[in-house]
Structure 1
Amino acid sequence: MKVRKFITIAAVSLALTVAGSSAFAGKVKLVGSGASFPYPIYSTWFSQFSKANSGIQVNYQSKGSGAGIRDFLNGVVDFAASDAAMKEEEMAKVKDGVQLLPMTAGEVVLAYNLKGVKDLKLSRKAYTGIFLGKVKTWNDPLIADANPGMKLPATPITVVARADSSGTTYVLTKHLSAISPEFAEKVGVAKQPSWPTDINMIKSPKNAGVNASIKRATGAIGYTEYAYARMAKLNMVSLENKEGSYVAPGLTGGQAALANVEIPENMIAWVSDPAGKDSYPIATYTWMIFHKKYADAGKARVLRKMVNYCLDNGQAIADQMGYIPLPANVIAQVKVAAENIK
């Protein structure tokens, strides 16, 4: 598997500092909010875009997908971002129309904190069992069976989940509902689900908060975006996919998962349980959300310019930052759809 070079948290922070130093100084200021899942790459894209285009400033706040959609519906941002896309009933509330654009893709991973345990594998029954509250200790037979010869402690499992309305949670629960009828019935697909009450659970805001809680709690396992887990140097689980293969998160498995996904006219495509022996099982596109018509035509032109910059220049750094570059055919589709922003 290809070794990937990752931009560190410090490098991303530096980029944000540079971007923030000229805040409110530009002739055009774009304001966005939403998903924390793509925040590391979006913040870098927006910083680089502002540097390349004097007089344009992009201010994006990582609040979670649900908060971003609320801001968009309330008219307090120029654009939003969501890993959960947007529901038809939500779009119907926007009188000027809505254009969703998949801008990057990534993987939801299960990261864990268990001293002396590396290269852990979890079967589909094991990880759905954890999120149903049925697998409660690390030496449970469902975990041990997939890890022969590994010394697994009797440590209780602490599940770390998102406290906020989260697109990452939506993607995870969509996958778990696709592979487990019991999970679909008891929990279902949601940005902020009601988890089984007998799970030993910690809730933390945003992906960065989940990572911090995993690091603090021995015996913890939580779901987060791949780039965040890599930057935090967390151990990640290899998950059993639809074909029965155990696949570690990374570019190869992510690209395999998305290889056969067709993007429909509304630009919303899901791959809740990808086929293929090399496919990582929890991969997703993530979307930017725009109005189709803006009161300020000049701002709409700048928004289109920003989108094209992210497509033409931004995809080149997706791999090194822990995201999946968009396939060429998807980039072409997104460029055509972006012309609806007027």
Structure 2
Amino acid sequence: MISNLLKRVAVATAAFAAVAGAAVTSPALALDISGAGATFPYPIYAKWAETYKAETGNGLNYQSIGSGGGIKQIKARTVTFGATDKPLTGQELDADKLIQWPQVIGGIVPVINLDGVKPGDLVLDGPTVAKIFLGQITSWDDAAIKKLNPKAKLAATPIVVVHRSDGSGTTFNFTNYLSKVSEDWKSKVGENTAVEWPAGIGAKGNEGVANNVANTKGAIGYVEYAYAKQNKLTFTKLVNKDGKTVAPTTPTFQAAASNADWANAPGFYQILTDQPGAQSWPITAATFILLPKAPQDTAAAGEALKFFGWAFAKGGKAAEELDYIPLPANVVAMIKKSWTANVKDASGKPLASNN
């Protein structure tokens, strides 16, 4: 069954292809921006691209291939920009002469497929999620799950773990969270964009995980919240760092994001998992853009900065409608200042001077 989100993705992809085709046949009509990477922000990038093209005539050809692929492509300079949910360190950015900034914030949620269980009915905590993905808890009527859900009627349904098969920033943030809440996970698996999964089946992209969970009884996976919402998947609540049970909502994502100290983060490097606060969603993450400091195609890079500047200025409402969190105005100002200071043409002129 094709979900509403995947239908929208297909439409957006077709639109991107049409834009690219138009650029080939009539290059004077539009300037195409190419990007690749994270599937986490794809729903909002697709929405922004649609609106931006209607306003400016310029389009976005974005390949939703996972953060690992996006990092590889921008390092190889085969796209105008890369997108990743795993931020690069200052040393990594310097080595590849890249600039990095957060574009939007969202939440990663466990999603399940259990008969009679509605979104938010089931509560899990970090250690229990870790044991499930370690393959140590294999049935939905396990005592650890029952303890967290004493009133739930849980059958002895086998648990089917679904995880990402591609290099993924969503996986990085999910495994980073599990490493913080489970010493067993940290020592046996650890955190990265790709790990050696102890259990389960792999699927490509947030789209693939969402589809597999939707079509597999007893399944559990992890996806960006927009995918859970648009696919009408059953998400779980989580117990956060303060011991409070919270649901994935805009306020709980905002509560976690409020702890970010962007001003003192070189390269805007921030990890937002397992943040303190009674209202904080435990697996909150920013998604980042990577751009060369000295782009080969200055026209495309300049247009990319215009696009992302436009998204900061006009894309907030669309982001909120898809349950992403726009960045605060003071953080946007810091980001734009970094554009001016770092992204320049061959003569040293900032490409963002008019953004």
**Same-fold call, TM > 0.5?**
yes
CA contact (8 A) 1:83 1:168 kept: yes
Does residue 1:158 correspond to 2:160, yes or no? yes
Distance in 1, Cα, partners of 2:303 & 2:19: 18
The 1:184–1:238 alpha-carbon spacing in structure 2 relative to 1, beyond 3 Å, is same
Q: Which residue in 1 is equivalent to 2:353?
A: none
Map of 1:316 onto structure 2: 317
SS in 2 for 1:278: coil
Shift of 1:16: 4.6
Distance 2:127 2:197 in 1: 17
Is 2:90–2:266's contact at 8 Å kept on the other side of the alignment?
A: no
Alignment of 1:223-238 (within 5 A): 223-238=222-237
In the TM superposition, what whole-angstrom CA distance separates every residue of 1:222-254 from its partner, at most 9, and x where no partner exists? 011100010000000000101111111110110
Q: Which runs of 5+ in 2 are unaligned?
A: 345-355
Measure how far apart 1:285 and its partner are.
Answer: 0.4
In the alignment, structure 1 residue 113 sits paired with structure 2 residue 113: yes
Amino acid of the residue matched to residue 283 of structure 1? T
Once the two structures are TM-superposed, the CA of residue 333 in structure 1 deviates from its matched residue by: 1.7
The one-letter code sitting in structure 2 at the alignment partner of 1:113 is N
2:83 matched residue in structure 1: 81
Q: Report the equivalent of 2:348.
A: none
- What letter matches 1:25 in structure 2? A
Structure 2 matches for 1:1-342, cutoff 5 A? 10-11=7-8, 13-26=10-23, 27=27, 28-54=31-57, 56-88=58-90, 90-94=92-96, 97-118=97-118, 119-196=121-198, 199=199, 201-263=200-262, 264-339=265-340, 340-342=342-344
Q: Which amino acid aligns with 1:150?
A: A
Q: Deviations over 1:58-110 (max 9, x none)?
A: 2111000001111111121110100012245643442xx21111001111100
So what's the TM-score if we normalise by structure 1? 0.91
Secondary structure of 1:80's counterpart equals strand
Q: How many residues align?
A: 330
Q: Which structure 1 residue ranges, 5 or more long, are not aligned?
A: 1-6
Alpha-carbon offset, residue 317 of structure 1:
1.1
SS at match of 2:161: strand
Q: Distance in 1 between matches of 2:208 and 2:248?
A: 20
By percentage of residues, which structure has more helix?
Answer: 2
- Check 1:124–1:296 CA distance in 2 against 1; reply closer, same or farther (3 A cut): closer
Alignment partners' CA distance in 1, 2:128 and 2:138:
10
Please give the alpha-carbon distance, in whole angstroms, between the structure 2 residues aligned to 1:160 and 1:309: 36
1:48/1:182 Cα in 2 relative to 1: closer, same or farther (>3 Å)? same
Contact 1:257 1:274 in 2 (8 A): yes
Task: Please give the per-residue CA displacement for 1:188-237, whole angstroms capped at 9, x wherever unaligned.
Answer: 011110122xx3x1111000100111011111000111000100000000
State the distance in 2 between where 1:202 and 1:9 align.
21
Contact 1:19/1:50 (<8 A) preserved: no
Give how far 1:20 is off.
3.5
Question: 2: distance between equivalents of 1:329 and 1:178?
Answer: 30
SS of equivalent to 1:212: helix
Please report how far the alpha carbon of residue 149 of structure 1 lies from its aligned counterpart in structure 2 after TM superposition: 1.7
Residues 48 and 318, structure 2, Cα contact 8 Å, conserved in 1:
no
In structure 2, C-alpha distance between the alignment counterparts of 1:229 and 1:9, rounded to whole Å: 12
Q: CA contact under 8 A between 1:73 and 1:93: conserved in structure 2?
A: no
Higher mean displacement: 224-233 or 79-88: 79-88
Distance 1:72 1:141 in 2: 47
How far apart are residue 15 of structure 1 and its match?
4.7
Q: 1:162, 1:9 → 2: CA distance?
A: 17
CA offsets, 1:299-338, max 9 Å, x none? Answer: 3322221120111011221110121121222222222222
Alignment TM-score, normalising by the size of structure 2:
0.88
**Alignment RMSD (CA, Å):** 1.7
